[in-house]
Amino acid sequence: MKSLKVRVLILYPHFFSGRVVMEIKKLIVNGTEELISLYKDFHAHPELGFQEFRTQKVIIKYLTQLGLHAQRIASTGVFATLQGRQSGPTILLRTDMDAIPVTEKNRPAPP
């Protein structure tokens, strides 16, 4: 659940005290390897649009481990809800997770 605080801090930094901000900065530094690992995994296993079945599984597993209720939507989409303790503004985050077919010219292709 600590990774979740990092994401909330990025969106709403004014909600946190100085002590909490320092704790979250430590979490960011400590979580860097985790994020790099996910980045490398996704890039080692690219999937074209509407074919992201492996990516979908990895994301659902990751979000579930963070304590979110993540679920499959459409054929390859992922939907997760983060419920706060208090009422307030609602936000939506959306991202693409499909690969674009390209030939890398600056580095070798992953195995």
- Give the C-alpha separation, 110 to 49, whole Å: 20
Tens of each residue's pLDDT in the chain, 111 residues: 445 544 554 545 555 567 777 777 787 788 888 888 998 999 899 999 999 999 999 999 998 988 888 999 999 999 998 877 788 888 888 889 999 888 777 766 565
Closest residue by Cα to residue 23 from 4, 47, 36: 4
- Give the C-alpha separation, 71 to 66, whole Å: 13
Q: Which run of H or of E encompasses 72?
A: strand 69-73
Closest residue by Cα to residue 40 from 28, 58, 52: 58
pTM exceeds 0.75, yes or no? no
